Chains A and B, each alone.
Chain A
Amino acid sequence: MSAPPLTSVGRSRPRPAWHVATVVETRRETPTAARLTLEVPTWPGSEAGSHVDVRLTAPDGYQASRSYSIVSSTPEAQVVLAVDEQPDGEVSPFLVHEMRPGDQLELHGPLGAFFVWRPGESDRPVQLVAGGSGVVPLYAMAAAHGTADDDAPFRLLYSVRTPADVFFADELAALTGPAFSLDLVYTREAPDGWPDAVGRLTRETLAARTLPAARQPRVYVCGSTGFVETVARWLQELGHPATAIHTERFGGL
C-alpha cells in the first residue's frame, strides 16, 4: 500500500524567507500608484492574495517595513507589486517615486494563508469586493482564476474614485467573460455617459451588484479599514454568514 500523495496546500506552501529583489521596471499604475516589477532569483512562488513585507533601510540604519499585496509572481524569477502612495507614509512614497531599475529592496515572503484563493478548493462562486488599491490581491485572485482550470464563477465589485484611478484597467477588461464579471462604482467622477449615480458605495448597490447570499459565494473584501468594516457588516445584514467573508484591511482614511 502506498502512502497517499501530499496534497495539503498547507504543507506545500513555500516557507517565508527574506529575499533580495532588484527593480526591473517601474511604471505608473494610476496617478497615485506605481507598478514595480522585481527580479527575485530565490522567490519560491506565491498563492493569489498573499503579500510581502518590504523593508527599507536608511543610510543611518533606521528601518521601516510595510506589507504589500503581490500582483503576480513567477518562481525563481519575478514578483510584481502595485503600490499606492499614502500621503503621510514612510515607505510607499519612496516606492512610488524613488525606485529605479537596478535598485534593490528586501522582501519577506510570501506571507498570508488566510486572504488567499486556491484553484480547485471549492465549487462555490466567488465574490470580490474592492475599495481603491484594495483591488490588488483581488485582481491577483481573478487573474489566477483566469489561468486555472476552475469553473467557479467570479465577480468583482470595485469601488474607485475616478476612471483614472482604476488599477489594472486593461487586464480586468481582458478577464471579463463568462467566468468573470466586473462591476465598477465611481465615488467621485465617472466616464461620460455613465448610467449609474456617482458616489460612495451604498448597501443597496452592494446588494444589487454582488452575488446573493442564496448562491453561497465565498466573499473576499479588501480596502481601507472603514470600507472593509462597512462592507462586511452590510454583507452580513444581506444574509452572508461571517464564515464566508474574508477580509483584509490596509488602514488609511
Chain B
Amino acid sequence: MTDHLDGNVLAGALSEVFTTDVTAARARCGGCGRMSAIAEAMVYTSAPGLVARCAGCDQVLATIVDAGDRLILSLAGLSAIELRR
C-alpha cells in the first residue's frame, strides 16, 4: 500500500528532458482522462527505473530508465501535458 512515492521525485530525471520543471504541470491520463499535476502521480521506484501511475485509475503514465549514458523516457500513458509559458 505504501511502497510508492509521488511525482515530486521525478523532477531530477525530467529536468534532463524538459527545459522547465514539469512536476507542477498538469497532465491528462490517457486511461481515465483525469487532469492532475505530474507531482501527484504515484511513483514506484522498485522497478529498474521509475514508473509513474495515475492516482485515479492506476494506469502507467510514464516510465523513466536511467541506463548510464542513456535515458529512456516513455510518456505513452499520457494524452497531454499543459506547460505554462
Contacts and interface: CB of A to CB of B under 8 A. Distances in A.
Contacts, number: 73
A112 interface: yes
Contacts of B6: 225, 247-249
B40 A16 contact: no
29 contacts: A10-B84, A13-B21, A16-B11, A16-B15, A16-B21, A51-B8, A51-B11, A67-B8, A67-B11, A67-B12, A108-B15, A112-B11, A112-B23, A113-B20, A114-B37, A114-B38, A114-B40, A115-B39, A224-B2, A225-B2, A225-B3, A226-B2, A246-B39, A247-B6, A247-B40, A248-B6, A249-B5, A251-B45, A253-B2
Interface residues of B, number: 22
B5 A115 contact: no
Nearest to A248: B8
Chain A at the B interface: SS class: mixed
Contacts of A253: 2
B73 interface: no
Interface string B12-29: 100100001101100000
